Amino acid sequence: MKIFTSAQIHELDRYTIEHEPIKSVDLMERAAKAITRAITEEWTTHTPVVVFAGPGNNGGDALAVARLLINEGYKVSTFLFNITNHLSDDCVTNRQRLLEGKHAKDFTEITAKFDPPELTADTLVIDGLFGSGLNKPLAGGFASLVKYINQSPAKVVSIDVPSGLMAEDNTYNVRANIIHATLTLTLHEKKLSFLFSDAQQFIGRVKVLDIRLSQEYIQKTEAQYYVLEESDIRSRLLHRDDFAHKGDMGNALVIAGSYGMSGAAILTTRACLRSGVGKVTVHTPKKNYDIMQVSVPEAILQMDHEETAFTEAVDTDDFDALAIGPGLGRQEPTAIAMIAQIRRAQCPIIADADALNILASHRAWMQQLPKGIIMTPHAKELDRLTGSPANADFERLHRTRELARSLQAYIILKGHNSALCLPNGNVIFNSTGNSGMATAGSGDVLTGIITALLARGYHQQNACMAGMYLHGLAGDLAAKDLGKESLVAGDIINYLPKAFMLLDD
């Protein structure tokens, strides 16, 4: 599914108006009806409603909703902010429609001084001050109103976007001046900022309302951002031939583990085996031999000549994919062996965990990475790779995109909505997963899954897309049965078979 920018959404509205054809005020009425329906499904007519409408089209939506709620029997107080004595055309039309209504008595147009109404715990506030077109932080009286609403005990429904929140980049926004919505009723699709963790405190629950915008425009318009859907993965899965043997199913090499960190090697290897690969060889220090042999008897062991750490690059001629990094350690001999291994490898590579930490402390080495390498950093690892902490999630994503573009790499920025940044600058967000997966070893499992898919013959992009979707789906299935609090990384591996089966139906 495409995620359009605010500029593209504006163009989508315009295209719909011109090509449906439909008047802009009638499209606004269509949106208002969908918003009103969603509100009436959750709050009864006994709920007092206060509507705050801004001067633009978001305010026009709010005025239309106020009129429709009044017609449904709700007691509504409406405040229209016309500080500059300039309203959008559709806002003017909906003001007139509201005032012409039989039961519209409690309407105030603010042009100067504003005496705010009392907002109690029983009050429902409809926030229609500013929508997705906002491009600068709120200030002055609007900032004061936002703070007043946020400090009240009232429930808040925001139309399209909580006022003060920008649809994409909130890096330099003033967060104290953003509405904290209980429920955001967003039109057509989630906005990009909704996918970031630092926006969750503002958006509350989100419902996406379909207002039947032009499918022609949606299909023909390119996007930079996408959200994975199940159909995207089903169409990319490679199916096992009935006459396949293990040699047909790929041969993976996992270089992982140091003394005391064999668990990372075990989890990566088990996940790799559970993801359909024919054979897995694990290169690990000698002291990990016994525990690896017992924990993953299906794997082939290849021992480093050192007792406690990875110190020697090995041939990859017989392998179809290489994973390197989980639990590897960061000692200098290991670092030198790691970069030598990456330079030597002739197969697709996924670098994770300590491989990324080593690159962060030897940043000049990143210029030696082969095109097409897959990297899977979490937020702090990405900050280390780029040299400084990001100020916000959008800025971190922007840095990841630039890094993927400059290295011609596939970089998965891990998080609740993990973001796959492609070499061409596009971003694909994952839609599966849950907070129970925020547990040690979860990233090692993802590495193992992607490694197996690479070895099976998946292209890097498809391996990343299917890998992060399956990883999240297995986590969702595990959380459904076990709960989020008790989830551990091994549970994700155990539910991988069910995840594959669901997608293979």
Domains (ranges, CATH) in the chain? 2-223 (3.40.50.10260), 230-504 (3.40.1190.20)
Pairing state of beta strands 300-303 and 321-324?
A: unpaired
**How far apart, in Å, are the Cα atoms of 144 and each of 113, 138, 293?**
13, 9, 64
Res 459: pLDDT: 98
How many whole angstroms separate alpha carbon 393 and alpha carbon 161? 18
- Exposure string (b/e) for 157-186, b if CB count within 10 Å is 16 or more? bbbbbbbbbbbbbbeebeeebbbbbbbbbb
Global pTM value: 0.96
Provide the residue type at 489 as one letter.
A
User: In 10 A of CB 291, how many CB atoms?
Assistant: 15
The fraction of the chain above a pLDDT of 70, given in percent, is 100
Mark the binding-site residues for AMP, compressed into ranges: 414-418, 443
How many whole angstroms separate alpha carbon 196 and alpha carbon 393? 6
Res 224: pLDDT: 97
Mark the binding-site residues, compressed into ranges: 57-61, 127, 131-137, 160, 163, 264, 327, 378, 414-418, 443-444
Q: Tokens at residue 400, please? A: 């990841």
Q: Tell me the pLDDT of the chain (505 aa) as tens digits.
A: 999 999 999 999 999 999 999 999 999 999 999 999 999 999 999 999 999 999 999 999 999 999 999 999 999 999 999 999 999 999 999 999 999 987 778 999 999 989 999 999 999 999 999 999 999 999 999 999 999 999 999 999 999 999 999 999 999 999 999 999 999 999 999 999 999 999 999 999 999 999 999 999 999 999 999 999 999 999 999 999 999 999 999 999 999 999 999 999 999 999 999 999 999 999 999 999 999 999 999 999 999 999 999 999 999 999 999 999 999 999 999 999 999 999 999 999 999 999 999 999 999 999 999 999 999 999 999 999 999 999 999 999 999 999 999 999 999 999 999 999 999 999 999 999 999 999 999 999 999 999 999 999 999 999 999 999 999 999 999 999 999 999 999 999 999 999 999 998 7
Contacts of 175 (CB under 8 A, 6+ apart): none
Q: Tokens at residue 418, please? A: 């993990």
Tell me the three state secondary structure of residue 109.
strand
Mark the binding-site residues for K(+), compressed into ranges: 58, 127, 163
Contact 154, 120 (CB under 8 A): yes
Mark the binding-site residues for (6S)-NADPHX, compressed into ranges: 57-61, 131-137, 160, 264, 327, 378, 444
Task: Quote the longest CA-to-CA distance of the chain.
Answer: 87
How many whole angstroms separate alpha carbon 208 and alpha carbon 110? 31
Q: Tokens at residue 31, please? A: 């949106």
Residue with tokens 């709960």: 483
Res 101: pLDDT: 86
